[in-house]
Amino acid sequence: MQFPHIDPVIFKIGPLALRWYGMMYILGFAASYLLVLYQIRHRTTSIKRPFVDDLYFYLIIGLIVGARLGYIIFYNLRFYINNPLEIFILWHGGMSFHGGLIGTFIAGYLVIKRNNMDFFKIADLIIPTCPLGLGFGRIGNFINGELYGKPSNLPWAMVFPGGGPLPRHPSQIYEALLEGLCLFIILWFYKDKKRHDGDVLAMFLILYGLFRIFCEFFREPDAHLGYMLGIFTMGQILSAVMLSIGLFFKFYLIPHRTKVLKK
C-alpha cells in the first residue's frame, strides 16, 4: 500500500501553523480532561473541578517539558549538547513518551501533595483516560509519516515517504490500537474492580510496558541509536524499567501501603 499523504499542517496564519501532531495532543488532553470530569460527576468524591483544572494545567506543562527532555536525554543527548538551540525548536520533532510520563508524574505529584490529597487515589482517576492521548499521539506520528515499522510483505504494509522503497509495518497504527484503544478499554473497566488505590496506576505501567515492548519488535529503531545490547531498542529498555516499576507497585508497594493505612 502507498502511504496516504496528508498535509501535516491543518492551516496556517502568517508564521503560525496548526499541525495535526499538535492537534492530537490537544484532542488527547481534552478527552482525558472531559472523562475525568465525567467520573467526578458520577461518583461520590471530594474532588472538585477547580482542582482538576489546576492539575491539568501543570500536567500539560509536565508532559511537554518531560517529553522533550526525555527525548534529549534518552535518544539524542550528543546532538543537543552540540546544538543546544535545537532544544527549543519543538517543530523539528523529538518527543519521548517515557520522558513525558516522568514529567507528568512529577508535576502531578507536586500538585496533589500541595493540596494534601492522596496521590494514588487521584492517579487512579486520571490514568484510565491517558491511553486515549497515547492513541491520538500515534495517529499524529502516522500522519507525519514518522516512527514507521520494519520492512514487511503483509497486505497492509505501506511505503512511507522517508522509509525507502520497501513497504513497512504501519507500527504507529499498531501502537494506536494496542497502547491506545485496547489499553483504554481495559483500564476503564478495571478502575471499577480495583482492590486498592494505586492498582489502576500499577496496571497501566505493567500493560503499557508489555504492549510497547511487543510493538517495538515491528518498529524500525532510531537510525542514530540502532539496537542496544545488540537486540533491544531504547523503547524496549525504557518500557522494561516501566514494567518493573509497575510490578513493584502492584505486588509490594500498594498492598504494603494499604496495610499500613488500615492500622
Q: pLDDT digits over 166-191, tens only?
A: 999 999 999 999 999 999 999 999 99
The model carries a pTM of: 0.92
* pLDDT band, residue 135 (cuts 50/70/90): very high
Q: Is residue 33 part of a domain?
A: no
Average pLDDT score over residue span 8-33: 87
Q: Is residue 207 part of a domain?
A: yes
Q: Is residue 189 part of a domain?
A: yes
Give dist(CA 174, CA 42) in Å, integer.
Answer: 33
Contact 195, 202 (CB under 8 A): no
Average pLDDT score over residue span 109-138: 95
How high is the pLDDT of residue 2?
82
Q: Percent of the chain beyond pLDDT 90?
A: 71
How high is the pLDDT of residue 21?
83
Phi, psi for residue 38 in degrees, rounded to 5: -60, -45
Q: Which of 153-157, 193-197, 223-227 has the lowest mean pLDDT?
A: 223-227
Closest CA to 156 of 171, 135, 138: 171
Contact 169, 157 (CB under 8 A): yes
User: Which residues span the domain enclosing 182?
Assistant: 124-262
- Residue with the three cell numbers 494545567: 57
Contact 46, 62 (CB under 8 A): no
The residues pairing with 11 across neighbouring beta strands, listed in sequence order, are 18
Q: Is residue 66 part of a domain?
A: no
Q: pLDDT digits over 38-49, tens only?
A: 999 988 788 899
Q: Is residue 77 part of a domain?
A: no
What is each CA distance from 135 to 25, 140, 145, in whole angstroms? 10, 9, 15
Checking if the pLDDT of 91 tops 70, the result is: no
How high is the pLDDT of residue 90?
72
* pLDDT band, residue 252 (cuts 50/70/90): very high
Q: Is residue 69 part of a domain?
A: no
Q: Is residue 72 part of a domain?
A: no
Checking if the pLDDT of 262 tops 90, the result is: no
DSSP string, 176-244: IIIIIIIHHHHHHHHTTT-SSTTHHHHHHHHHHHHHHHHHHTTBPPPTTT--BTTTB-HHHHHHHHHHH
Closest CA to 205 of 173, 162, 236, 248: 248
Average pLDDT score over residue span 201-218: 97
Q: Which of 9-18, 126-135, 138-147 has the lowest mean pLDDT?
A: 9-18
- What is the count of structural domains for the chain? 1
Checking if the pLDDT of 92 tops 80, the result is: no
How high is the pLDDT of residue 222?
82
Q: Which long-range contacts (CB under 8 A, 24 or more apart) does 3-11 make?
A: 3/145, 3/158, 3/159, 3/160, 3/161, 5/145, 5/161, 6/143, 8/143, 8/144
Q: Is residue 55 part of a domain?
A: no
Checking if the pLDDT of 121 tops 80, the result is: yes
